[in-house]
Amino acid sequence: MPLKSETLMRKHILLPALLILLSVFNVDGQPGRFSFALVTDTHIGGTGADEDLIRTVEDINSIDSVAFVIVSGDVTEFGSDAELRRAKEILDALEKPWYIIPGNHDTKWSESGANSFRVIFGAEAFALRHGDWLFLGTNSGPNMRMGPGQIPRENIVWLDSVLAVPANRDLKVVSVNHYPLDEGLNNWYELTDRLKRLDTRLALCGHGHTNRVMNFEGIPALMCRSNLRGDQEKGGYNILTFIDDAVLTASVRHPAAAIQNKPAGKTGVALTRDTTGKTVAVTMPAWTKLRLARHDFVADTTKWPRPDYSMNLRYGSVREAWRVQEKADIGAGATVAGRLALITNTAGEIKALSLRSGQARWTFQAGAKIYSTPATDGKRVIAVSADGTVRALGLRNGKLLWSFDAKQPVVASPVISGGRVFIAGSSGRCYALDMKEGSVLWSNSEIEGFAETTTLIYRGLIIFGTWDNRLYAIDSETGVTRWVWSNGYTNRMLSPAACVPVATGNRVFIVAPDRKMACLDAITGKLIWHSDLGGVAVRESMGITSDSTMVLAKTMNGIVIGVSTAANQPEVIWKTDFNIGYDIAPGVITGADGILFIPSDKGVVHAASRKEGTLLWSHRISSCLINNIVPLKGGGVLCNSMDGVVVRLSF
């Protein structure tokens, strides 16, 4: 009987310090030798991906020497529930134990904020002991919000609990992450620093779709090829063999496939066929052989790169009034309600913190990841978890007042207007609920794609984009769709889904990953202009000035521009005179008292003069993406970062 991955994973996530023990496999009767399959970048949902993975599963089942299988991320193309279930269905045919982690395609564009990955596969991290080897698999992110990769805070906390077991610290360690362990991960050092306190012999990754020997701060590493066939006749995966605990060989295995006769592909590999025309499975010669010696990391005096916090000394007038470190990621913004700061996290917690001290006043456990910013009417808190449950909690005590099951994943933030709560979902439906009772006032099932953003309420319309290249305007009273605008692309990754739209003067403005800004008539949806603004490369981060004269947009090249809200043609009328570097974080640009606050994807809050565009100060609270920056009455701001840091800044 095959070992079911979700059973193994649940044991890992519920009892993180208890590792699943597997037998010591002896391949070919040679003590200390074992082989396993590394399958990565399967991209289920993409062209040919299902067939490629089915072939791989069937092939692995035919190889007695393969002890177990690791699937190292980008399991799906878009992280949808349907793609995840299909991947699970195919992988369940494996007759070997298998272990799985997500990659960026499973987490960034997931309609459930990767909550369904955890539900379907049991967890997003694993610990596997095989003989005297310990394999540690962690999530790479980016988690829902576009930016560099990031190992979730809860994975780091879990990893510490595993390594707290004395027996585990004596094992030889192999790290598995979808990303390379470098600055492509915002918090790579949190993992590498821990690995270098252990007897870490190897790191494995995917992501690059190719085989490559790498090295991460002295840790030998392999990037492994995608399972996809690409422009070849069939796909492939890697078989890794450990020999006497000191040597590793890596070989590509091409499964058999029934295909038409074609010449060798670009790699020049000729595939042998049997008499039926079906290609014969073949294991290629080893593409690398590594010696896995114990490394003395303590003796390594190399000064490896680490996040730079020196700006906090340079701008000493900015100080942290308080700081809170959550044990899980924070995937949404904070909301200020009187003397409370309302936050959510991916451990499923809804919290009210004292705005004065940061101490928790109450906590409610929702039981699923949360990627939506809570909303409040001053009496109730509305929070939506990724499993689709909408809850109203008492603002003062966090007690449940009512709940509503949207029966679909929800990662978009709720908005409140006129005694109604508006919910844009992930399965083609939008709701208006009564604020007091949670009853459905109307629903609209005409939505294509899923919503991720905070809905704009303007002139009786609720306006939001989806990951299907569309922007919707729905009548807030009746739920009738008033207009739909399509950006004309077929690639859904160019959708205006992550930006928070802004509006003024009967015009609505959006930015998108196509690096363009669009201006539409807010009442009719007619396009006024759609421009790349001279090639400045806007993406998903925008805002509007308090006087509504400029739409603000952060460019990928590190400046913020101001675009006229009144001109009939795109007109850049303002820009910052400083550069924050390459940045793709989707956070909203906010402002107060002549200061603009700019979020970054590397944990830095920047303050700029609204008048001159000059830099006033910068302050780093983390190495990870800033979710939002809330200006506070009386001065200061409240900000939080994706890795669970909440800070009140005064200046």
Q: What is the Cα–Cα distance from 104 to 74, expressed in whole angstroms?
A: 6
The pTM of this model reads 0.90
What is the three-class DSSP state of 482? strand
Average pLDDT rounded to a whole number, residues 590-599? 97
Output the pLDDT for position 22: 28
pLDDT at 18 over 80: no
Output the pLDDT for position 24: 28
Average pLDDT rounded to a whole number, residues 188-196? 97
> Measuring CA to CA, which residue among 292, 101, 289 is closest to residue 211?
289
Dump pLDDT digits (tens) for 523-569. Answer: 999 999 999 999 999 999 999 999 999 999 999 999 999 999 999 99
Task: Decide if 179 contacts 143 (C-beta within 8 A).
Answer: no
Task: Tell me the residue ranges of DSSP E strands in 301-448.
Answer: 319-325, 335-337, 340-344, 349-354, 360-365, 375-376, 380-384, 389-394, 400-405, 415-417, 420-424, 430-434, 440-444
Output the pLDDT for position 85: 97
Mode of pairing for the β-strands spanning 20-22 and 34-39: unpaired
Count of other CB atoms within 10 angstroms of residue 254:
24
Tokens of 171: 């094992």
CATH 2.40.128.630 residue ranges in the chain? 372-451+454-483
Q: How confident is the model at residue 425 (pLDDT cuts 50, 70, 90)?
A: confident
pLDDT at 56 over 50: yes
Buried b (16+ CB within 10 A) or exposed e, 455-493: bbbbeebbbbbbbbbbbbbbebeebeebbebebeeeebb
Enter the CATH code of domain 5-299. 3.60.21.10
Chain-centre distance for alpha carbon 633: 32
pLDDT at 266 over 90: no
Average pLDDT rounded to a whole number, residues 55-82? 96
DSSP annotation of 410: -
Mode of pairing for the β-strands spanning 172-177 and 133-138: parallel
Q: How confident is the model at residue 244 (pLDDT cuts 50, 70, 90)?
A: confident
If you average pLDDT over every residue of the chain, what do you get? 91
Output the pLDDT for position 2: 34
Average pLDDT rounded to a whole number, residues 126-154? 94
Output the pLDDT for position 427: 75
Task: Decide if 531 contacts 517 (C-beta within 8 A).
Answer: yes
Q: State phi, psi for 29 to the nearest 5 degrees.
A: 75, 10
Average pLDDT rounded to a whole number, residues 448-470? 95
The CATH T-level fold of domain 372-451+454-483 is Lipocalin (2.40.128)
Output the pLDDT for position 276: 57
Output the pLDDT for position 122: 94
Average pLDDT rounded to a whole number, residues 212-233? 95
Q: How confident is the model at residue 257 (pLDDT cuts 50, 70, 90)?
A: confident
CATH 3.60.21.10 residue ranges in the chain? 5-299
In this structure, of 17-26, 32-41, 416-425, the range with the lowest mean pLDDT score is 17-26
Dump pLDDT digits (tens) for 379-392. Answer: 999 999 999 999 99
Dump pLDDT digits (tens) for 602-622. Answer: 999 999 999 999 999 999 999
Dump pLDDT digits (tens) for 325-381. Answer: 999 999 999 999 999 999 999 999 999 999 999 999 999 999 999 999 999 999 999
Q: What is the Cα–Cα distance from 408 to 615, expressed in whole angstroms?
A: 43
pLDDT at 278 over 70: no
Q: Which residues contact 51 (CB under 8 A, 6 or more apart)?
A: none
Average pLDDT rounded to a whole number, residues 623-640? 96
- The C-alpha R_g of the chain, in whole angstroms, comes to 26
